[in-house]
Amino acid sequence: MASAHRDFVVKENGIVQKLSYFTQDPFALSVAIVLDLGMSDSTCRRSNQTFPALVGAFAPYDEVALYTFSSTVSEVSDFSAPTQKLTANIQPDQDRTRRQ
- CATH code 3.40.50.410 for 23-93: yes
Candidates 64, 53, 55, 56; CA nearest to 28 is: 64
Mean pLDDT score of the chain: 80
Give pLDDT, residue 22. 83
CA distance 54 to 6: 27
The answer to whether residues 22 and 5 touch, using CB atoms and an 8 Å cutoff, is yes
The answer to whether residues 8 and 24 touch, using CB atoms and an 8 Å cutoff, is no
Give pLDDT, residue 73. 92
| 13-27 average pLDDT score | 88
User: Is this model's pTM higher than 0.75 or not?
Assistant: no
Maximum distance among all Cα pairs of the chain, rounded to whole angstroms: 52
- Residues 71-97 have pLDDT tens digits of 899 998 899 888 766 666 655 553 443
- Residues 22-69 have pLDDT tens digits of 888 888 999 998 888 888 888 888 887 887 888 888 888 999 998 988
